[in-house]
Amino acid sequence: MRGLAAIVRRDLRLALRQGMDSVMVVAFFVLATMLFPFGVGPDANLLARIGAGVGWVAALLASLLALERLFQADYEDGSLELLALSPLPLEGIVLAKVGAHWLTTGLPLIVASPLIALLMNVGAEGCGALVLTLLIGTTTLSLIGAVGAALTLGARRGGVLLSLLVLPLYIPTLIFGVGTVAAVIDGFPAWANVMMLAAIAVGALALCPWAAAAALRQALE
């Protein structure tokens, strides 16, 4: 446990000292959302209707943007090999790295999402629902993304390939995330959607570290 906490601390420190990752991710998130009022016109009612979906899609793409670097730097400088040789289980290491990655890229998105809700005229209830669903959903996105990032380690055209692998698997999370916000805005009970979202998150938490660790072992062979 202490070893895993050390990995989380190390990754956080690296992200704070050298990385602009968090800033870039949030900047992309806000910019991508900003394009929509220009694209579909600044009609407040229209923006309110599509706002939650746009926010979710932008958050999904922003988290995809940061995924490629999840294992890449450690793979290139060889520290991933040392981590794999340590007595810690590789699944735990994956979980620790995903946790650190979520803290540096997922959490800033959630913090920035009320701003998106404001820009898109979503309203107070919709904003609360957006924050809550992103809180559950971005963990799933990070976990599924870790599998894709591990599978494409060392591949040619890794970034494009990663999005081809990961985006289809993101769709269920997106559906239930947006479904929750839409239900809350329209005044329908939203708990079924929230529970599905949480169920996907728990399933991903149980399965993804194993798959990602298996893929990492293949990359290090």
Partner 1 sequence: MLKIVLQPDAFSRLGAKASPWLAGITAVLLTAGVFLALFVSPPDFRQSESVRIMYVHVPAAWMSLFCYTFMAAAGGAALVWRAPLAHMAAEATAPVGAAFTLLALATGSLWGKPMWGAWWVWDARLTSELILLFLYLGFIALNTAFDDPTRGARAAATLAVVGIVMVPIIKYSVDWWSTLHQPASVLRMSGPTIAAEMLVPLLIMAVGYTTFFLYVLLIRMATLLNNARIRALRQRQVRTGWEAAR
Binding site for partner 1 (CB under 8 A): 147, 151-152, 154-158, 161, 164-165, 167-169, 171-172, 203, 207, 211, 214-215, 218-219, 221
Minimum distance from CB of 82 to partner 1 (Å)? 20
88: tokens are 């810690």
Would you say 44 or 164 has its CB closer to partner 1?
Answer: 164
Would you say 32 or 147 has its CB closer to partner 1?
Answer: 147
Minimum distance from CB of 53 to partner 1 (Å)? 12
Minimum distance from CB of 172 to partner 1 (Å)? 7
Would you say 23 or 207 has its CB closer to partner 1?
Answer: 207
Minimum distance from CB of 196 to partner 1 (Å)? 10
Minimum distance from CB of 104 to partner 1 (Å)? 25
Sign of CA dihedral 41, 42, 46, 51: positive
41 touches 50 (CB < 8 A): no
39: tokens are 């694209």
Minimum distance from CB of 147 to partner 1 (Å)? 6
121 contact partners, CB below 8 Å, separation of at least 6? 44, 47, 48, 51
Would you say 58 or 150 has its CB closer to partner 1?
Answer: 150
Half-sphere exposure of 48 (CA within 13 A, CB side): 12
Q: In 3D, which of 135, 89, 94 has the Cα closest to residue 112?
A: 135
Would you say 110 or 146 has its CB closer to partner 1?
Answer: 146
Measured distance CA(35)–CA(44) in Å, rounded: 15
Would you say 47 or 219 has its CB closer to partner 1?
Answer: 219
Measured distance CA(48)–CA(46) in Å, rounded: 5
Q: Is 30 helix (H, G, I), strand (E, B) or coil?
A: helix
Q: Is 138 helix (H, G, I), strand (E, B) or coil?
A: helix
